[in-house]
Structure 1
């Protein structure tokens, strides 16, 4: 087990691109997520974003990306973000690094004035870090329809005092993330 004191987390810069791609490819075992991250990092509509790398003994072992979101039809009135993706190299998984990245990312989003964070992910994992399953039930439908049996996988977390007091409505994400293939689990794409 890795001691969290040995993990350093910092915001990424352009020199980190290869390290980010390595983490994404190794974590997922295929290139789809790495390509999504590359596209999102270049997407002007995804900004302001938070991109963090976790290092252990100088090696990049984890990455997390939060990109801009807003209510469909309302422009950028409320600062919101979508977490996608979270990646940790397989040999470093189940050691708390993902949770450290989530917490560090949310802290940075709070500093930027973001009020809500959304994620489409494992319903057993993300609630441990404050995410509430079935965000659509709370008035925040995903950018694309999510099948009823997977509704708990679309989650939200209020990260500011105004949190859930903001408007409600369908969530719109950055151009690169706003594609139907990113909102369904299709094993044939891997």
Structure 2
């Protein structure tokens, strides 16, 4: 990887570049389509959407969307789901994903978020502060996750009291609220 990585919040004009990053990063269209849906889904707001650029070219993208706790009071703390994260193949395993995660978590802290959830690789996300087995912490995923994959559903507190307060099943944005997105 040559050139410095610059991370910035996305703007609507970035949509084509974001979709392309996800297509290249995953090697198929599913996450690219999901990302585009989430970016236009009012139930996902407020979002944090960050683009990583190298020499002006989009090489990574991360999206955090709002989630809630089922049955909890209307005025809930700010909770988020990290989904998806993509880095183009030529920049993978070079720290771009970690930079996106760190910058996103910092922005969420500054904006008052308490918790972030992710369904992902149990070897990768704990390196960035996520605790495997969020259901054991009192936060079941929107859809059941196979027991053998329970540790893939993770959480990270962004405040000292992040794990206090309402507990229960996590309710995600409408675009993400489909069983096929919850199979690891």
TM-score range, shorter chain: over 0.9
CA spacing shift, 1:22–1:57, aligned 2, 3 Å = same
Structure 1 partner of 2:57: 59
- Matches of residues 95-174 of structure 1 in structure 2 within 5 Å? 95-174=94-173
Deviation at 1:52, TM superposition (A): 0.2
1:39-72 per-position Cα deviation (integer Å, ceiling 9, x unaligned): 0000000000100000011110000000000101
- Matches of residues 16-95 of structure 1 in structure 2 within 5 Å? 16-74=14-72, 75-95=74-94
1:80-108 per-position Cα deviation (integer Å, ceiling 9, x unaligned): 00000000001100000000000000011
Deviation at 1:176, TM superposition (A): 0.7
- In the alignment, structure 2 segments of 5+ residues that lack a partner are none
Deviation at 1:126, TM superposition (A): 0.2
TM-score by length of 1: 0.94
Instruction: Supply the distance in 2 between the matched residues of 1:58 and 1:161 (Cα, whole angstroms).
Output: 37
- In the alignment, structure 1 segments of 5+ residues that lack a partner are 186-190
Structure 1 segments of 4+ aligned residues over 6 angstroms from their partners: none
Q: Are 1:2 and 1:95, in contact at CA under 8 Å, matched by a contact in 2?
A: no
Query: Which of the numbers 7, 13, 32 marks the counterpart of 1:9?
Result: 7
Structure 1 partner of 2:177: 178
User: Which deviates more, 53-62 or 68-77?
Assistant: 68-77
Deviation at 1:112, TM superposition (A): 1.3
1:14-42 per-position Cα deviation (integer Å, ceiling 9, x unaligned): 11011101100000011100000010000
Deviation at 1:167, TM superposition (A): 1.7
Instruction: Supply the distance in 2 between the matched residues of 1:181 and 1:2 (Cα, whole angstroms).
Output: 37
Instruction: Supply the distance in 1 between the matched residues of 2:38 and 2:103 (Cα, whole angstroms).
Output: 20
